[in-house]
A and B are shown apart, each in its own frame.
Chain A
Amino acid sequence: KQEVTQIPAALSVPEGENLVLNCSFTDSAIYNLQWFRQDPGKGLTSLLLIQSSQREQTSGRLNASLDKSSGRSTLYIAASQPGDSATYLCAAPNSGNTPLVFGKGTRLSVIA
């Protein structure tokens, strides 16, 4: 059964800093991995979807990488802004045609 772990659980950084959020998964036979953002009291917003054949995906200041062999993904946020403050979750499917299993998330605070 897939297990997804996110470290750290919480992170506080000053505005403008580049930062990396980590995600690890136990079953490397995944088809894709997805990163989400969740603001307090809101649903999840999809940020990036990486297919297993890809090494990374970029969207604006966000870059997500995937290393299936080591069971790791990272989300890089460049030049962080207070508006980036939210909880970031990664999710990967169990092997086979099964839906996403989520980590507990990293709660990010960017201080102005």
Chain B
Amino acid sequence: EAGVVQSPRYKIIEKKQPVAFWCNPISGHNTLYWYLQNLGQGPELLIRYENEEAVDDSQLPKDRFSAERLKGVDSTLKIQPAELGDSAVYLCASSHGTANTGELFFGEGSRLTVL
């Protein structure tokens, strides 16, 4: 069974440029998460989808970050414009069932460097 797939694995951009990350969850997993991980820290939730609906986006900086999960499968996370402080690893995860009961499975992450 294929795991959570993310792309690109690495991205280097200059500040003020846009960037987008893509995630394909495990087949059949209705809940999808985007987490941000800074060096030496645990992941922090940005947004959670249950099917097509964003049910928790309270930690998403909406002035520059946006996300979508059309058709309830793949998801895209966008940053526009990127700032130096956005340099981090962006992790996508998926689970079967609700946020509180499903085991989380993570992708390899997308490492963003903003110069």
Contacts and interface: CB of A to CB of B under 8 A. Distances in A.
Interface string A20-32: 0000000000011
B14 interface: no
B106 interface: yes
A34 interface: yes
Contacts of A105: 42
Contacts of B98: 97
Nearest to A90: B42
Contacts of A91: 42, 104
Chain A binding surface, main DSSP class: strand
Contacts of B104: 34, 36, 44, 46, 91, 100
Interface string B92-115: 010000111101111111010000
A4 B94 CA distance: 21
A83 interface: no
Contact-residue bracket for chain A:
20 to 34
Contacts of A97: 98-100
Given A43-B107, A44-B91, A45-B106, A102 B44 contact: yes
A103 B109 CA distance: 18
* Complex A-B, nearest 9 residue pairs according to Cβ-Cβ distance, in ascending order: A102-B42, A43-B106, A99-B99, A44-B106, A31-B100, A43-B108, A49-B103, A97-B100, A43-B109
Interface of A: 4, 31-32, 34, 36, 41-46, 49, 51, 89, 91, 93, 96-105
